[in-house]
Amino acid sequence: MSTLAQNYWATRIAVPDKLHQGLDRISHALFGLARRRNSILRQMHLEAEQIAEKSLSFKHVSDHRLRERLDELQQLYRGREKGREDILPEAFAIITEAAYRTIGLRPFPVQILGGMAMYKGYLAEMATGEGKTLTACLPAILAGWSRRPCHIITVNDYLAGRDAREMSPLYNYCGVKTGVVTSMMDPAERRHNYAQDVVYTTSKEILADFLRDRLKVGLCHQPSRRLLRQLLQSDRARHDGLVMRGLDTALVDEADSVLIDEAVTPLIISQAQQNHPLLLACARAEMVARDFVAGDDYRAVLKYREVQLTESGRRKLDLISSSLPGIWRSPGRCEELVVQALTARAFYKRDKQYVIQDGKIVIVDEFTGRLMPNRTWRQGMHQAVEAHEQLALSDPSETLARLSFQRFFRFFRHLSGMTGTALEAAGEFWQIYKLPVLTIPTNRPCQRLHAADRIFVDEEAKWLEIVAEIERCHATGRPVLVGTRSVKMSEKLAALLTAKGLTFSLLNAVKHQEEANIVAMAGAPGALTIATNMAGRGTDIKLGRGVAEQGGLHVIATERHESGRIDRQLFGRCARQGDPGSSQAFVSLNDELIRRFATPQVRGVLSGAVASEAPGARKVAEKSIAMAQRNAEQLAFKQRSSVLKMDTWLADALSFTGSNVDF
Amino acid sequence: MARRSSTFSESWHRVVDQKIALRANVKARKRYFRGELWYVLEDPFNNQFFRLRPGAYDFIQRLRRDRTVGEVWEECLNRDPDGVPGQEEVIQLLSQLHFASLLYYEQPSDSANLFDRYKRRKQRELKSKLLSIMFFRLPLFDPDRLLKRCMPVTRLLVNRWAALLWMGVVGLALKLVIDRFDAVTSQAQGVLAPDNLFFLYLGLVLVKTLHEFGHAVVCRHYGGEVHTMGIMFLIFTPIPYMDATSSWSFRNRWHRALVGAAGMIVEVFAAGLATFVWAYTGPGVIHSLAYNMMFIASVSTVLFNANPLLRFDGYYILSDLLDIPNLHTRSQQYLRHLVEHYVFAYQDSTSPVETRREAGWLAVFGILSGIYRVVVFAGIILFIADQFLLAGLVMAVVCIISWGVVPLVKFIQYLATSPRLARTRLRATAISVGTLTGVILFLAVIPFPSRFRAPGVVEAVEHIQVVNYTAGYVDAVLTPSGTVVEPDSQLLRMRDQELDLEIRAAEAQKAETRALEILAMHRSQADLEPVRKRMAAIEDKLTNLRHHQQALMVRSSQRGTWVSPHCNEMVGTWIPRGTKLGEVVCPEQFRFSAVVSQDDASSLFDGQLQRAEVRLYGQGGQDLQVESYKIIPFQHDRLPSAALGWKGGGEVPISAADQTGLAAAEPFFLIYAELTSDPEVTLLHGRSGKIRFSMEPEPLLSQWTRSLRQLLQKRYQI
């Protein structure tokens, strides 16, 4: 049974600020820079070191005394009493000691620093292997004490479970209960887990639960209205079946991937709805579309992925429109339908955009190459593709609720996070989430040797050289990790390596737990691992015996990614915690990044220059690649902020629906 | 709303379960615009209007509080599959209606959002107020009840008889004005005199108050409500205004047009009455006031109110008569569409017009009104700057910002970020930059003939003024004026008895001296020298006198035409020495002496002059080539002929103190241009005309800059 206040907070969300425009935006950006100034970091670093020192003074305090003190602190935080900022160092110091006693790890000063930064609402940029899991515990415990809902967002179910499991002794010791929410849970389990002080979950789960909760309360999501209604209608179930306790604090692990890279894809809660006329119409339109001849009846514009009917196409359309069912007879709707069918024919290619499994269309993510079951294209299009493949048409799904992660994470009162790479996107973090980025120094100086990029004119030469490099390195017994951009590329490389008779492990970010185990072993002597960018994230690669002497893990990037951050993540896999390690990227001028973001002329000049090995050509090529990467980043940012703007506009325009969330 | 909006929308779930309806007080009216059926929604509480297509209206009017949007949509879909708006369209429609506050919804709307919207609207209003500072409005009170109470009286005013009366009064007044046209025009010159300004303003307020009540009364008569009356600061001059926008919902467009015209009708009527008052009163306060009312009611009506190019009454009348609501906005939309569609190749741009005729009207109106606005505002700014330099500068800055900088920035923003140009941004930018560069190149690089004109008169190169060397009475004119004379021919004979007597006295003295000389020769040799000296002096005097006597016969010193229009009147009069009697003009060689103002003088001395031509008044068809010209590098202040000055009907300002009409107000430079003789053109001494100097071709931009600078320098001594 929850209290009235808890009930109130369950559907309360912080209304995010509007995006700033014009001059406001500039002043806001300046303010953001001020929040990130170096003196703050220095000051906090000093404090963190003092806390670390102080924690040593608790070394000889008995467990009993320590727990008593923890209880007292918890009460202070629970009651949100005024002086609690003053006891922050003490609280951190005791938690530090507690961590040592329970899980045998004593947070380094930089970890304490990271924890403080998150507590203060910063996004902590911490290098891979610096112990982010433990770092997150520090602010999470404080938030747990306050009993405000605290969520730690991880990248996948496996990581959520693992982190919670590994850290639970510490939480228990500090009197904080933890819960884990993963995709396979039923509502009762979810409710139980969400009820805990600190909840480990993934962004997809929390957003889906949030949306489902909102659907349950329906229009009475405004806390006071909801409470009033519950008081007035006592016969109605007092408990309206919410699984969550509300949104308050979110600590996002791998924040750049959650808050930026995957932020614009909306999460959609939908249900299948029967719509026979649409199915009939789609089937019919597909038959009609077969008579249309590309070029004569319609033109397919590749650049914008759209189909335009010509005059003769329109004439054909007039002839057949009467054969369509019901509402589709009218010229406008008929054209819409046929254009859709033609679009399906022209732009949706089997094994590229989708595959067929068990007589069903399964969408393929074009960037990562991963299958995305249970995803559908927008209404009608999915059916059109199904009709094109002559499969049984599935019922169109009806959207019940949709919300992008970008908007969702703006609803938290206290959002903070950590990641290995954030600095490149610091502006975006500040502008959209009001998150200032703070770069936490590494515990030990980084020993990574990063070699300059190898640049090739064509792709085949690049792959040959990559294989040769892998062989060379493998022969010395050093472990090698090869990062690829897509599943297709990783498979291509796998084929090449198999041909050479090498054994390797291939990771495609599908089975998280197994992959995490494989990645954890990637540091063993002689290990050879191929992984896509997302594979095994969040798992440390610990060096095997004797590897450090050989120079540590060697990381090869087979391509530059569209975002510099993701490249850095890959390179960050080696040389963690002061270990030795090396990394290098192989780039060809035919890579997708260059093809998309450099003009053909530039590419032509570059190819000439690189092929002739003219002095200075390397420099120019590197610069151009960096520029292409910057262009790509800017374009992506623009797209993301325009999505947010559109969302905000729509919410504004439809504010009569009584919602300030997309429903 | 594009025809091809898709049937399904991804946001449909947001509205599908809503129970929404039009607010109860929203009235819907059928209206035909250009023969097409529309429905106009009107909310009398806040005077919001919204027009809908029948298909959309069919959907909207089915919305009820007990049915969801989804249900209604399905129903419409089954009834009329083709006409029903697609889901996207429905969402757009609902959001527009929501923004216009015409929707009732069960949900308490997000109140923060409402406040936010209110705040933004206020900000927008303030901004538009600041931007249209020349039409700043200050609402004062609600005249609706007053008007309602006056209805019984005002009902008498809007009918056929009133129209007849109006015609009678205006007709008679017009006749009166024509009768006394000279009095009207003579008094018009004093309208802007400082002592009349107060009456002018008083007249303005009176006339405009009547004008506004005219609108209000007619609007009320046809059932429209009038809720706002206040003061508008038109170019900082407070005058009354009122808001008759409720007439927009009248179904009959002639009624709408009549509401628009009512102000002017009343004004003209008032002007008619004022004409009678003016005509039958003597000079005094009432007389001046009446005159000023006449002046304002006629001039302001013609220049401003009736002119459809400014957004006053004429505009609304035109808009009603053409049946194109929002003429201005739509013409801009249409022009924008033309540019986007045909120049920037934005394929999805939808034309806001339905018929060709409308398109024509919109295009013509859009272009003309743009040009006219600029002209009128430039005029107003110059006028105000003349009176108050600082105010003029402030206004100029405001205008430049609001019409120059703001649109430019917006346009650049549009080019850079508008999603409409996403596909053709390169083309759009290239064309815009190209056009701009083209225009700038055209103006700044391509030289254009540059010319200036100066007034002047034809003078014979050899012309002498005939002057008498000796004073005397004119005895006779020996050669009549206009005769060609040879050198030495006798022109005029004068006589002077005193001179004769003096000669005789001198001769007597000579004789006496002669005698004295002889005496001295004999008697005293010592006296001889002084006597001889005296003798010489007397002979000198005598010669001199004789010379004068001879000069009494006035002769021509050269060949030419003897011109002396007044010589016959001189006969018998005493003419002092040195009086101009006439001229002898040599008819073979003429020159044109032109008066060049200081502004243009700089180009004279730069040596840029290439060619000069002269055109004489009355013979505009013939250009007289100038063989050579001579600039007198010294400034003059006396005109070569009084015909060039204001007093003589010319264009050179002359000094008010001068009676002869020759002293120019500002110093000028003289140019003597040698004319070739042309058989077609009779060159006559004293004939006036203009000389046109062609200078080295120069780009238009620098020509304009120079003219603008000279204008500023001259007007404001900057």
What CATH number is given to the structural domain containing B636?
2.40.30.170
Which amino acid belongs to residue A534?
M
How confident is the model over B356-376, as a mean pLDDT?
Answer: 85
Minimum mean pLDDT among A193-197, A318-322, A657-661, B281-285: which range? A657-661
Could you tell me which residue, B438 or B387, shows the higher pLDDT? Answer: B438
Could you tell me which residue, A65 or B113, shows the higher pLDDT? Answer: A65
B interface with A, Cβ–Cβ < 8 A, is 3-4, 6-8, 10-15, 18, 20, 77-78, 81-82, 84, 91, 94-95, 98-99, 103, 105-110, 112-114, 117, 419, 423
Beta strand B484-485 with B27-33 is unpaired
Which residue range(s) make up the domain with A496? 447-588
- Does A60 lie in the same domain as A154? yes
- Does A430 lie in the same domain as A384? no
pLDDT computed for residue A370 by the predictor: 64
How far from the centroid of its chain's Cα atoms is residue A419's Cα? 11
Q: Which of A149, A121, A177 is nearest to A9 (CA)?
A: A149
A22 touching B (Cβ < 8 Å) = no
Distances (CA, A) of A72 to A65, A177, A201, A275: 11, 17, 29, 61
Q: How far off is chain B from A18, nearest CA to CA, in Å?
A: 11
- Does A580 lie in the same domain as A491? yes
Nearest to A379 among B8, B84, B113 (CB): B8
Looking at chain A, the whole-number percentage of residues with pLDDT higher than 70 is: 93
Q: How far off is chain A from B51, nearest CA to CA, in Å?
A: 18
Has residue A97 got a pLDDT over 50?
yes
pLDDT in tens, B583-625: 887 777 778 888 887 777 776 666 666 777 888 877 767 777 7
Q: Residue A17 carries which DSSP code?
A: P
CB contact under 8 A, B110 and A659: yes
Q: Using an 8 Å Cβ cutoff, are A144 and A150 in contact?
A: yes
pLDDT in tens, A600-626: 777 888 888 888 777 778 888 888 888
A150/A142 Cα distance (integer angstroms) = 10
Band of the pLDDT at A241, cuts 50, 70, 90?
confident
Distances (CA, A) of A371 to A191, A390, A394, B521, B616: 30, 21, 18, 156, 92
Residue A610 lies in a domain: no
Instruction: With beta carbons under 8 A apart, name residues in chain B contacting A662.
Output: 11, 14
B449/B435 Cα distance (integer angstroms) = 23
Interface of A with B in 289-318 (CB under 8 A): 304
Dihedral of alpha carbons A314, A318, A324, A327, sign: positive
Has residue B339 got a pLDDT over 90?
no
How confident is the model over A634-644, as a mean pLDDT?
Answer: 82
Has residue B376 got a pLDDT over 50?
yes
How far from the centroid of its chain's Cα atoms is residue A183's Cα? 16
Instruction: With beta carbons under 8 A apart, name residues in chain A contacting B15.
Output: 654, 657
pLDDT computed for residue B113 by the predictor: 67
Could you tell me which residue, A559 or B347, shows the higher pLDDT? Answer: A559
Q: Which of A373, A378, A308 is nearest to A346 (CA)?
A: A308
Cβ atoms < 10 Å from Cβ of A99: 24
- Does B241 lie in the same domain as B136? yes
Q: What is the CATH number of the domain that holds A121?
A: 3.40.50.300
Residue A246 lies in a domain: yes
B350/B340 Cα distance (integer angstroms) = 10
pLDDT computed for residue A181 by the predictor: 94
- Does A284 lie in the same domain as A155? no
Could you tell me which residue, A131 or B186, shows the higher pLDDT? Answer: A131
pLDDT computed for residue B550 by the predictor: 85
Q: Using an 8 Å Cβ cutoff, are B5 and A391 in contact?
A: no
Band of the pLDDT at A171, cuts 50, 70, 90?
very high
Q: How far off is chain A from B77, nearest CA to CA, in Å?
A: 7
Give the 3-state secondary structure of B645-665. ECCCCCCECECCCCCCCCEEE
CB contact under 8 A, A327 and B77: yes
pLDDT computed for residue A165 by the predictor: 93
- Does B644 lie in the same domain as B563? no
pLDDT computed for residue A662 by the predictor: 46
Q: Which of A245, A239, A261 is nearest to A206 (CA)?
A: A245
Which residue range(s) make up the domain with B559? 465-573
Q: What is the CATH number of the domain that holds A336?
A: 3.90.1440.10
Residue with tokens 């808890």: A6
pLDDT computed for residue B392 by the predictor: 76
pLDDT computed for residue B2 by the predictor: 35
- Does B542 lie in the same domain as B633? no
> Considering chain A, what is the average pLDDT of its residues?
84
Q: What length does chain A have?
A: 663
Residue B364 lies in a domain: no
Cβ atoms < 10 Å from Cβ of B712: 12
Q: Which of A208, A200, A160 is nearest to A178 (CA)?
A: A200
Q: Which of A221, A218, A182, A187 is nearest to A203 (CA)?
A: A182
Minimum mean pLDDT among A653-657, B159-163, B286-290, B404-408: which range? A653-657
B633/B638 Cα distance (integer angstroms) = 15
Which of A588, A616, A633 is the last residue in one of the domains?
A588
Could you tell me which residue, B565 or A59, shows the higher pLDDT? Answer: A59
pLDDT in tens, A549-581: 888 899 999 988 888 888 888 888 888 888 889
Distances (CA, A) of B298 to B170, B311, B375, B605: 11, 18, 21, 48
- Name A402's bridge partners: A268
pLDDT computed for residue A143 by the predictor: 92
Q: Which of A126, A127, A117, A205 is nearest to A160 (CA)?
A: A205
pLDDT computed for residue A144 by the predictor: 92
A270/A261 Cα distance (integer angstroms) = 23
Residue with tokens 């003289």: B670
A230 touching B (Cβ < 8 Å) = no
pLDDT in tens, B67-98: 888 888 888 877 777 777 888 888 888 888 88
How far from the centroid of its chain's Cα atoms is residue A91's Cα? 31
- Total tally of structural domains belonging to chain A: 3
How confident is the model over A232-236, as a mean pLDDT?
Answer: 67
- Does B301 lie in the same domain as B168? yes
- Does B665 lie in the same domain as B519? no
- Does B502 lie in the same domain as B545? yes
How confident is the model over B21-41, as a mean pLDDT?
Answer: 79
Residue of B nearest to A271 (CA): B13
Residue B328 lies in a domain: no
Give the phi and the psi of residue B669 in degrees, each rounded to 5.
-115, 150
Nearest to A336 among B7, B12, B81 (CB): B7
Global pTM reads 0.66
Q: How far off is chain A from B204, nearest CA to CA, in Å?
A: 43
pLDDT in tens, A392-405: 888 877 778 888 88
pLDDT computed for residue A51 by the predictor: 93
Residue A522 sits at the vertex; the CA angle it makes with A520 and A524, to the nearest 5 degrees, is 105
- 10 Å CB burial of residue A364 (0-12, 13-18, 19+) is buried
- Does A123 lie in the same domain as A202? yes
- Does B658 lie in the same domain as B542? no
Which of B281, B297, B323 is the last residue in one of the domains?
B323
Cβ atoms < 10 Å from Cβ of B163: 12
Residue A427 lies in a domain: yes
pLDDT computed for residue A545 by the predictor: 80
Q: Using an 8 Å Cβ cutoff, are A98 and A173 in contact?
A: yes
Which of B323, B341, B372 is the last residue in one of the domains?
B323
- Total tally of structural domains belonging to chain B: 4
- Does A233 lie in the same domain as A101? yes
Nearest to B107 among A304, A331, A657 (CB): A657
CB contact under 8 A, A332 and B4: yes
- Does A291 lie in the same domain as A202? no
Cβ atoms < 10 Å from Cβ of A328: 24
- Does A409 lie in the same domain as A488? no
Nearest to A219 among B7, B107, B423 (CB): B107
Distances (CA, A) of A109 to A45, A70, A446, A619: 8, 21, 16, 39
Band of the pLDDT at B251, cuts 50, 70, 90?
confident
- Does B258 lie in the same domain as B163? yes
Q: How many CB pairs under 8 A join A and B?
A: 90
Residue B156 lies in a domain: yes
- Does B223 lie in the same domain as B317? yes
Most confident of B194-203, B328-337, B430-439, B444-453: B430-439
Q: How far off is chain A from B425, nearest CA to CA, in Å?
A: 14
- Does A413 lie in the same domain as A520? no
Residue B341 lies in a domain: no
Nearest to B8 among A380, A402, A659 (CB): A380
pLDDT computed for residue B551 by the predictor: 84
Radius of gyration of chain B (CA): 41
- Does B103 lie in the same domain as B136? no
Residue with tokens 């933004």: B120
Best residue of B3, B5, B7 to probe chain A, by most A CBs closer than 10 Å: B7
Best residue of A657, A659, A660 to probe chain B, by most B CBs closer than 10 Å: A657
Has residue A417 got a pLDDT over 60?
yes
Q: How far off is chain B from A431, nearest CA to CA, in Å?
A: 19
- 10 Å CB burial of residue B124 (0-12, 13-18, 19+) is exposed
Residue B351 lies in a domain: no
Has residue A68 got a pLDDT over 70?
yes
Residue A428 lies in a domain: yes
A634 touching B (Cβ < 8 Å) = no
How confident is the model over A583-594, as a mean pLDDT?
Answer: 87
> Considering chain B, what is the average pLDDT of its residues?
80
Residue B487 lies in a domain: yes
- Does B57 lie in the same domain as B100? yes
> Hey, what are B303's tokens?
């220049």
pLDDT in tens, B469-520: 888 888 888 888 888 888 888 888 888 888 889 999 999 999 999 898 888 8
- Does A314 lie in the same domain as A387? yes
Which of A539, A572, A588 is the last residue in one of the domains?
A588
Residue of A nearest to B14 (CA): A663
Q: Which of A476, A452, A471 is nearest to A557 (CA)?
A: A452
Residue of B nearest to A381 (CA): B8
**CA dihedral defined by A491, A496, A502, A503, rounded to 10 degrees?**
10
CB contact under 8 A, B82 and A330: yes
Residue of A nearest to B91 (CA): A654
Q: Which of B679, B570, B577, B672 is nearest to B622 (CA)?
A: B679
Minimum mean pLDDT among A580-584, B565-569, B680-684: which range? B680-684
Band of the pLDDT at B580, cuts 50, 70, 90?
confident
Residue A600 lies in a domain: no
Residue of B nearest to A268 (CA): B10
Which of B573, B603, B633 is the last residue in one of the domains?
B573
Q: How far off is chain A from B95, nearest CA to CA, in Å?
A: 5
Has residue A156 got a pLDDT over 70?
yes
Dihedral of alpha carbons A233, A236, A238, A242, sign: negative
A273 touching B (Cβ < 8 Å) = no
pLDDT in tens, A492-519: 899 999 998 888 888 876 667 777 888 8
pLDDT computed for residue A510 by the predictor: 66
How confident is the model over A218-232, as a mean pLDDT?
Answer: 75
Q: Which residues contact B384 (CB under 8 A, 6 or more apart)?
A: B235, B391, B392, B395
Residue A426 sits at the vertex; the CA angle it makes with A452 and A141, to the nearest 5 degrees, is 110
Angle between helix A487-499 and helix A459-475 axes, rounded to 10 deg: 60
Instruction: With beta carbons under 8 A apart, name residues in chain B contacting A225.
Output: 108
- Does A419 lie in the same domain as A387? no
CB contact under 8 A, B10 and A328: no
Q: Residue B258 carries which DSSP code?
A: H
Q: How far off is chain B from A208, nearest CA to CA, in Å?
A: 16
Give the phi and the psi of residue A359 in degrees, each rounded to 5.
70, 20
Residue B544 lies in a domain: yes
- Does A508 lie in the same domain as A475? yes
A56/A109 Cα distance (integer angstroms) = 12
> Hey, what are B55's tokens?
């298909």
Q: How far off is chain B from A403, nearest CA to CA, in Å?
A: 11
Look at residue B7 and give its three-state secondary structure.
coil
pLDDT computed for residue A125 by the predictor: 92
Cβ atoms < 10 Å from Cβ of B137: 15
- Does B223 lie in the same domain as B76? no
pLDDT computed for residue A399 by the predictor: 78
pLDDT computed for residue B159 by the predictor: 81
- 10 Å CB burial of residue B46 (0-12, 13-18, 19+) is exposed
How far from the centroid of its chain's Cα atoms is residue B136's Cα? 24
pLDDT computed for residue A468 by the predictor: 92
Has residue A48 got a pLDDT over 90?
yes
